[in-house]
Amino acid sequence: MNESIDSIISVSDREAIFELIHAWAYHRDRGNWEKLKDTFWPEGTISISWFDGPFQQFVDSSREMADTGAQSKHIISHPFIKINGHRAVSEANVTLQVRGGKGPIEMDLTAYARFYDLLEKREGVWRILKRTAIYEKDRMDSVKPSLLFWIAHFFINLKKYPKSFRFSGFAFEKAGLELKNNIIQDNSEESKLLYKEGDDWLSG
Protein backbone atom coordinates (compact mmCIF):
# COMPACT_ATOMS: atom_id res chain seq x y z
CA MET A 1 0.00 0.00 0.00
CA ASN A 2 2.83 2.41 0.87
CA GLU A 3 4.53 1.70 -2.47
CA SER A 4 1.28 2.53 -4.27
CA ILE A 5 0.92 5.82 -2.39
CA ASP A 6 4.56 6.72 -3.09
CA SER A 7 4.00 5.99 -6.78
CA ILE A 8 0.94 8.26 -6.91
CA ILE A 9 2.83 11.06 -5.17
CA SER A 10 5.76 10.67 -7.55
CA VAL A 11 3.52 10.86 -10.62
CA SER A 12 1.74 13.92 -9.22
CA ASP A 13 5.05 15.66 -8.46
CA ARG A 14 6.47 14.86 -11.88
CA GLU A 15 3.39 16.29 -13.59
CA ALA A 16 3.62 19.46 -11.50
CA ILE A 17 7.31 19.91 -12.35
CA PHE A 18 6.66 19.18 -16.03
CA GLU A 19 3.97 21.87 -16.15
CA LEU A 20 6.21 24.30 -14.26
CA ILE A 21 9.12 23.91 -16.68
CA HIS A 22 6.85 24.52 -19.67
CA ALA A 23 5.00 27.36 -17.93
CA TRP A 24 8.33 29.17 -17.63
CA ALA A 25 8.83 29.11 -21.41
CA TYR A 26 5.23 30.08 -22.12
CA HIS A 27 5.17 33.07 -19.78
CA ARG A 28 8.68 34.20 -20.79
CA ASP A 29 7.87 34.24 -24.50
CA ARG A 30 4.39 35.72 -24.07
CA GLY A 31 5.61 38.48 -21.77
CA ASN A 32 3.50 37.40 -18.78
CA TRP A 33 6.06 38.85 -16.40
CA GLU A 34 4.23 38.53 -13.08
CA LYS A 35 3.30 34.93 -13.81
CA LEU A 36 6.89 34.28 -14.88
CA LYS A 37 8.09 35.42 -11.46
CA ASP A 38 5.90 32.75 -9.88
CA THR A 39 7.88 29.94 -11.54
CA PHE A 40 10.84 30.59 -9.20
CA TRP A 41 11.12 30.95 -5.45
CA PRO A 42 11.80 34.58 -4.44
CA GLU A 43 15.47 33.86 -3.68
CA GLY A 44 15.91 31.83 -6.88
CA THR A 45 18.80 32.42 -9.28
CA ILE A 46 19.41 31.88 -12.99
CA SER A 47 22.70 31.58 -14.86
CA ILE A 48 22.60 31.89 -18.65
CA SER A 49 24.74 33.51 -21.33
CA TRP A 50 23.77 37.13 -20.71
CA PHE A 51 22.52 37.03 -17.12
CA ASP A 52 23.81 35.56 -13.86
CA GLY A 53 21.98 36.49 -10.70
CA PRO A 54 18.60 36.78 -8.96
CA PHE A 55 15.68 35.57 -11.05
CA GLN A 56 13.52 38.55 -10.15
CA GLN A 57 16.12 40.82 -11.76
CA PHE A 58 16.22 38.51 -14.79
CA VAL A 59 12.49 39.04 -15.27
CA ASP A 60 12.94 42.81 -15.19
CA SER A 61 15.82 42.62 -17.68
CA SER A 62 13.79 40.36 -19.96
CA ARG A 63 10.93 42.84 -19.86
CA GLU A 64 13.28 45.66 -20.88
CA MET A 65 14.64 43.52 -23.70
CA ALA A 66 11.14 42.74 -24.96
CA ASP A 67 10.28 46.44 -24.92
CA THR A 68 13.00 47.01 -27.54
CA GLY A 69 11.14 44.70 -29.92
CA ALA A 70 13.40 41.65 -29.55
CA GLN A 71 11.65 38.43 -30.61
CA SER A 72 12.60 35.13 -28.98
CA LYS A 73 11.07 31.71 -28.49
CA HIS A 74 12.07 28.87 -26.14
CA ILE A 75 11.16 25.33 -27.20
CA ILE A 76 11.58 22.94 -24.25
CA SER A 77 11.53 19.16 -24.37
CA HIS A 78 10.02 16.75 -21.87
CA PRO A 79 12.31 17.13 -18.81
CA PHE A 80 14.17 14.27 -17.14
CA ILE A 81 13.29 14.54 -13.45
CA LYS A 82 14.79 13.08 -10.27
CA ILE A 83 12.90 13.57 -6.99
CA ASN A 84 14.00 13.09 -3.39
CA GLY A 85 11.37 14.24 -0.91
CA HIS A 86 10.85 17.98 -1.22
CA ARG A 87 13.80 18.40 -3.59
CA ALA A 88 14.08 17.67 -7.30
CA VAL A 89 16.48 18.02 -10.20
CA SER A 90 15.22 18.56 -13.74
CA GLU A 91 17.12 18.63 -17.01
CA ALA A 92 15.46 19.54 -20.31
CA ASN A 93 16.64 20.22 -23.83
CA VAL A 94 15.91 23.76 -24.94
CA THR A 95 16.08 25.41 -28.34
CA LEU A 96 16.26 29.20 -28.35
CA GLN A 97 15.14 30.94 -31.52
CA VAL A 98 15.79 34.65 -31.96
CA ARG A 99 15.06 36.89 -34.92
CA GLY A 100 17.18 39.99 -35.20
CA GLY A 101 19.57 41.99 -37.28
CA LYS A 102 19.74 45.61 -38.28
CA GLY A 103 20.16 47.16 -41.68
CA PRO A 104 19.97 45.09 -44.87
CA ILE A 105 20.46 41.70 -43.17
CA GLU A 106 17.72 40.05 -41.11
CA MET A 107 18.94 36.96 -39.25
CA ASP A 108 17.58 33.94 -37.44
CA LEU A 109 19.68 32.73 -34.54
CA THR A 110 19.21 29.21 -33.14
CA ALA A 111 20.94 27.99 -29.97
CA TYR A 112 20.74 24.46 -28.57
CA ALA A 113 21.20 24.00 -24.84
CA ARG A 114 19.88 22.28 -21.72
CA PHE A 115 18.28 23.81 -18.64
CA TYR A 116 19.56 22.15 -15.46
CA ASP A 117 17.20 23.06 -12.62
CA LEU A 118 17.18 22.57 -8.86
CA LEU A 119 13.62 22.68 -7.51
CA GLU A 120 12.00 22.71 -4.08
CA LYS A 121 8.50 21.87 -2.91
CA ARG A 122 7.17 24.14 -0.19
CA GLU A 123 3.70 23.80 1.31
CA GLY A 124 2.74 21.52 -1.56
CA VAL A 125 4.00 23.82 -4.33
CA TRP A 126 6.99 23.22 -6.62
CA ARG A 127 9.10 26.14 -7.79
CA ILE A 128 12.56 26.47 -9.36
CA LEU A 129 15.35 27.42 -6.97
CA LYS A 130 18.29 27.51 -9.38
CA ARG A 131 18.56 27.28 -13.16
CA THR A 132 21.80 26.86 -15.11
CA ALA A 133 22.08 26.66 -18.89
CA ILE A 134 24.46 24.17 -20.51
CA TYR A 135 25.25 25.18 -24.09
CA GLU A 136 25.73 22.64 -26.90
CA LYS A 137 25.86 24.41 -30.28
CA ASP A 138 24.33 27.25 -32.26
CA ARG A 139 23.93 28.62 -35.77
CA MET A 140 22.95 31.81 -37.56
CA ASP A 141 21.04 32.02 -40.85
CA SER A 142 19.93 34.80 -43.14
CA VAL A 143 16.16 35.06 -43.32
CA LYS A 144 16.42 35.82 -47.03
CA PRO A 145 19.14 34.71 -49.47
CA SER A 146 21.94 37.23 -48.99
CA LEU A 147 25.39 37.50 -50.53
CA LEU A 148 26.20 40.22 -48.01
CA PHE A 149 25.45 37.79 -45.15
CA TRP A 150 27.87 35.23 -46.62
CA ILE A 151 30.63 37.81 -47.12
CA ALA A 152 30.20 39.15 -43.58
CA HIS A 153 31.36 35.81 -42.14
CA PHE A 154 34.90 36.57 -43.32
CA PHE A 155 35.04 39.65 -41.10
CA ILE A 156 33.57 38.20 -37.90
CA ASN A 157 36.01 36.98 -35.25
CA LEU A 158 33.95 34.09 -33.89
CA LYS A 159 36.93 32.52 -32.10
CA LYS A 160 36.63 35.08 -29.30
CA TYR A 161 33.40 33.41 -28.15
CA PRO A 162 32.82 29.99 -26.51
CA LYS A 163 32.73 27.27 -29.19
CA SER A 164 29.18 26.19 -28.36
CA PHE A 165 27.95 29.79 -28.31
CA ARG A 166 29.88 31.51 -31.09
CA PHE A 167 27.11 32.90 -33.28
CA SER A 168 24.93 33.70 -30.28
CA GLY A 169 27.82 35.49 -28.59
CA PHE A 170 28.39 37.65 -31.65
CA ALA A 171 24.68 38.43 -32.08
CA PHE A 172 24.11 39.16 -28.39
CA GLU A 173 27.04 41.55 -28.17
CA LYS A 174 25.82 43.33 -31.31
CA ALA A 175 22.47 43.72 -29.54
CA GLY A 176 24.21 45.37 -26.58
CA LEU A 177 24.14 42.38 -24.21
CA GLU A 178 27.19 41.63 -22.09
CA LEU A 179 28.16 37.96 -22.11
CA LYS A 180 28.99 36.40 -18.75
CA ASN A 181 32.28 34.61 -18.09
CA ASN A 182 30.64 31.56 -16.54
CA ILE A 183 29.05 30.09 -19.68
CA ILE A 184 28.95 26.32 -19.21
CA GLN A 185 29.55 24.21 -22.31
CA ASP A 186 28.46 20.64 -22.88
CA ASN A 187 30.90 17.91 -21.78
CA SER A 188 33.13 20.41 -20.01
CA GLU A 189 34.69 20.15 -16.56
CA GLU A 190 32.28 22.87 -15.45
CA SER A 191 29.29 20.79 -16.55
CA LYS A 192 30.61 17.78 -14.61
CA LEU A 193 30.95 19.91 -11.50
CA LEU A 194 27.43 21.23 -12.03
CA TYR A 195 26.04 17.68 -12.14
CA LYS A 196 27.92 16.73 -9.00
CA GLU A 197 26.59 19.82 -7.23
CA GLY A 198 23.07 18.85 -8.24
CA ASP A 199 23.47 15.23 -7.09
CA ASP A 200 24.90 16.33 -3.75
CA TRP A 201 22.12 18.87 -3.27
CA LEU A 202 19.44 16.33 -4.19
CA SER A 203 20.76 13.78 -1.70
CA GLY A 204 20.37 16.45 0.97
Report the pLDDT value the prediction gives residue 102, as an integer from 0 to 100.
60
Q: What string of pLDDT tens digits covers the 204 residues of the chain?
A: 344 444 445 779 999 999 999 999 999 999 999 999 999 999 999 999 999 999 999 999 999 988 887 778 999 999 999 999 999 999 999 999 988 766 677 888 999 999 999 999 999 999 999 999 999 999 988 887 777 777 777 778 888 888 998 988 888 887 788 888 889 999 999 999 999 999 999 998
Residue 167 — left, alpha, or beta (φ > 0 → left; ψ -120 to 50 → alpha)? alpha
Q: Give the pTM.
A: 0.89
Neighbours of 59 (CB within 10 A): 19
Alpha carbon distance 39, 126 (integer Å): 8
Looking at residue 9, its pLDDT comes to: 53
What is the spatial distance between Cα 170 and Cα 179, in angstroms, rounded to a whole number?
10
Q: Whole-angstrom Cα distance, residue 78 to residue 91?
A: 9
Q: What pLDDT does residue 6 have?
A: 45
> Contact, 107 vs 100, CB < 8 A?
yes
Cβ-contact 129, 40 below 8 angstroms: yes
In eight-state DSSP terms, residue 96 is E
What are the residues whose beta carbons fall under 8 Å from the beta carbon of 142, sequence distance 6 or more? 105, 106, 107, 108, 149, 150
Which residue type, as a one-letter code, is found at position 182?
N
Taking the alpha carbons at both ends of the chain, their separation in whole angstroms is 26
Fold of 2-198: Nuclear Transport Factor 2; Chain: A, (3.10.450)
- The DSSP letter of residue 183 is P
